[in-house]
Amino acid sequence: MIVEGKALVKKYSENQGLQDVTFSLNEGRIIALAGGNGAGKSTLIRLLIGEEKQSSGEICWAGERSISYMPDDINFPTALTAAEILQLLAGLKKVSAAEREKVLKRVGLWEYRKQKVSQFSKGMRQRLNLAQSLLGDERLIVLDEPTNGLDLLWIAELKTILQEQKQIGRTILFSTHLLSFAEELADDVLLLYEGKVLLEGSIHTVLDQAKCNHLEELFMKKVGLTKNRNV
Ligand SMILES: Nc1ncnc2c1ncn2[C@@H]1O[C@H](COP(=O)(O)OP(=O)(O)OP(=O)(O)O)[C@@H](O)[C@H]1O
């Protein structure tokens, strides 16, 4: 276990973001934080990264808190080049030039490093956003909807990159709406529904136990819908 949430509640003035959410993230795993619109994924991420404080409940880290974050949308200073932005962030994280080069190459932006970010496409900005989250040696990487803006090839490459990160011992938590994507990439799932945990654990085990082939089928079963709602 790397971090756990205990009975987390987050109340907003008009909405309840999270209601009694308990979970634990196991070290060295890729975990999908799944759920539909308004399920509570971003709220849970904001609590984990410390951007907001829970109304009640606790977040407990096993050992030192060590977290790197890829937001779903990042406004880089557009007058800077990709290399300058990474250099700036690397300075904060005390990362070497060699590591910056490696990361920029890994996300396919090395050739574009001297271009201003204002000239980047959305997908390129998203890859730079991914690159900054890979810098350093934090134990947990949290990625908010990392497939946003990526094309099919880069979605495939993202999977490989996150698997490589797992190989070097890091724990990955990514949020997604797409249960099929969660299933393709993750070892474990934390599925939220209306601010509560609907499902948690190894994807293999939860599917086996429910005798379902896919998370989507299991989700539909749990929320009481059939695939063909109009039939
Ligand atoms: N800053 C806020 N102020 C008020 N309500 C909020 C705030 N942030 C989230 N909520 C509410 O908390 C609930 C969970 O929202 P959250 O953004 O965490 O869901 P999500 O799973 O990330 O959804 P999406 O996939 O649409 O981004 C929703 O009912 C939402 O309206």
Partner residues linked to 6 by β-bridges: 58
Residues 54, 50: Cα–Cα separation, whole Å: 9
pLDDT at 116: 94
Which residue in the block uniquely carries the two structure tokens 């399920």? 39
Question: 69-88 pLDDT, tens per residue?
Answer: 999 878 888 889 999 988 88
Ligand 1 proximity of 73 Cβ (cutoff 6 Å): no
Question: 117-137 pLDDT, tens per residue?
Answer: 999 999 999 999 999 999 999
Which of 9, 15, 148, 196 has most ligand 1 atoms within 8 Å of CB, for mutation?
15
Q: How confident is the model at residue 195 (pLDDT cuts 50, 70, 90)?
A: very high
Question: 19-39 pLDDT, tens per residue?
Answer: 999 999 999 999 999 999 999
Ligand 1 proximity of 43 Cβ (cutoff 6 Å): yes
CATH for the stretch 1-66+139-202: 3.40.50.300
Beta pairing class for 67-70 and 140-143: parallel
For residue 30, what are the contacts with CB-CB under 8 A and spacing of at least 6? 162, 163, 166, 171, 172, 174, 185, 186, 187, 188
Ligand 1 proximity of 39 Cβ (cutoff 6 Å): yes
Nearest CA to ligand 1 atom 2: 12
- Among residues 124, 123, 143, 125, the alpha carbon closest in space to that of 133 is found at 143
What are the residue ranges of CATH 3.40.50.300 in the chain? Answer: 1-66+139-202
Nearest CA to ligand 1 atom 9: 17
Partner residues linked to 34 by β-bridges: 176, 191
ipTM value > 0.85: yes
Residues 76, 134: Cα–Cα separation, whole Å: 16
